Structure 1
Amino acid sequence: MKNHFITIAAAVLISTAPYAFAASSTDLTVNGTITPLACSPTLSNSGLVNYGKISRQDLSVNKRTRLRDQTLDLNIQCNAPARFALMMHDNRDGSAVVNSEIYYGLNHDGSGNKVGLYSLNFDPATTVVDDLPQVFRTDSTTGGIAWSSSNSRSIPIGARSYLGFTDVAGSNAGPIAIQSLTSRVILETVISPSSELDLSTDVQLDGSATLDVVYL
């Protein structure tokens, strides 16, 4: 019984001195929305781009070599009109020879040298959205809080920026709701100078990235 009374007395003493101690707790709030909307992105050829064998003689010794551009067909189908944006996650993060959110790595050679980089470029001119006559792109570097003025210029898909689509030129309102989108995207690939690679054995181009649909 004595221990019981000591505990209560201590609690009373603390509560009567509100300015003597800092708060010992803080609040956590978790928000979010589960949406019935679902959008499925697909790339032609299962997203595989194969450059085959590249001779070291085709590479510049002291400069980076740009390989021929490749194209893929992007298709996004939603079960209902949805506001969304695109981002891309580099599964070979840190291996691109240029540190930028629009460049993705091709991994390393046997000696740990960076093999090169690539980007995936979206062109509104090759894009069809639902039954709209024209499509414009808009992007956000603030997680969808603010959007750039929409336009028809080509843009690489970034790892930290949202890429969205609208039917209004010069708009800062962000993406519109879309149910079906098809586009031809262009893959640009650059290889490091041969003098910076270990070519004593075969070097694999080993790029891997994940294209994400972000619901807004």
Structure 2
Amino acid sequence: MNTFPRFLAVLLLLTSIQPVVAASFVDVTVTGRLTPDACHVSLSDEGTVDHGKIPAHTLSATEFTVLPSRMLELSVQCARPMLFALVGIDNRSESSLAPGFFYGLGRNIHAHDERLGSVALSYRDPVGDAQPMQVLASSNNGETWTPEPNAYPKSYIGFAPPGDRQPDFIRQLTTRLRIDTSINFSRYLTLDQEVPLDGSIVLDLRYL
């Protein structure tokens, strides 16, 4: 008599009957994200300055042609009083005629060696948390500060009550951003076709 199937059935029955053991522990998972208190920066007119069409014959051949100054309203809104600075980053730095002082206006798309001009930025009439402020600038990443309204490329610009020499904690800041644009000497430019001005600047808010 073949007892192998019966033996296999008993073996399967024995292996399928296991004692039920209740778990003596349970996992707890904790998740989330720690986020910094943030500040939001905004500019009026979506940060755009449009000088329209500038006839070539109105440009000076022997000096820079200074276009009318434009003003944008800048606002910084923070979740709580924060210590911050604004840094101008020039996306057209290779076209700047004085990179330490002015932002580039781009190159002539018809003659790439020709630099079109310069843009200067400065802050006017800042108000922080309903109090008049002064503009401070730092050329060494915030180690030292001096009163200075001009926002040179890569300079840190902070805001403080008059007389202070360090930026202050601010929750709400409003200020006017002045934009001064100058066109290069026309004798250095090829202007037999329409040439678009192409300045591009990022205002980067950095926490101190």
Relative to the length of structure 2, the TM-score reads: 0.79
Match of residue 44 from structure 1: 44
Match of residue 60 from structure 1: 60
For 2:67 and 2:78, locate their aligned partners in 1 and report how far apart those are by CA, in whole Å: 34
Match of residue 195 from structure 2: 203
Match of residue 121 from structure 1: 122
Match of residue 190 from structure 1: 182
Paired amino acid for 1:158: Y
Match of residue 105 from structure 2: 106
Q: 1:161 pairs with 149, 155, 175, which one? A: 155
When the two structures are aligned, how many residues end up with a matched partner?
A: 173
Match of residue 25 from structure 2: none
Paired amino acid for 1:141: S
Match of residue 78 from structure 1: 78
Match of residue 24 from structure 1: none
Paired amino acid for 2:188: E
**Identical aligned pairs, as a percentage?**
35
For 1:196 and 1:186, locate their aligned partners in 2 and report how far apart those are by CA, in whole Å: 27
Structure 1 runs of 4+ aligned residues shifted over 3 Å read none
CA RMSD of aligned residues (A): 1.5
For 1:72 and 1:180, locate their aligned partners in 2 and report how far apart those are by CA, in whole Å: 17
Paired amino acid for 1:137: V
- In structure 1, stretches of 5+ residues that fail to align are 1-33
Shift of residue 131 of structure 1?
2.4
Mean Cα deviation higher: 136-145 or 195-204: 136-145
Relative to the length of structure 1, the TM-score reads: 0.76
For 1:160 and 1:120, locate their aligned partners in 2 and report how far apart those are by CA, in whole Å: 12
Match of residue 141 from structure 2: 143
Paired amino acid for 1:135: M
- In structure 2, stretches of 5+ residues that fail to align are 1-33
**1:201 match: secondary structure:** coil
Of structures 1 and 2, the larger Rg is shown by 2
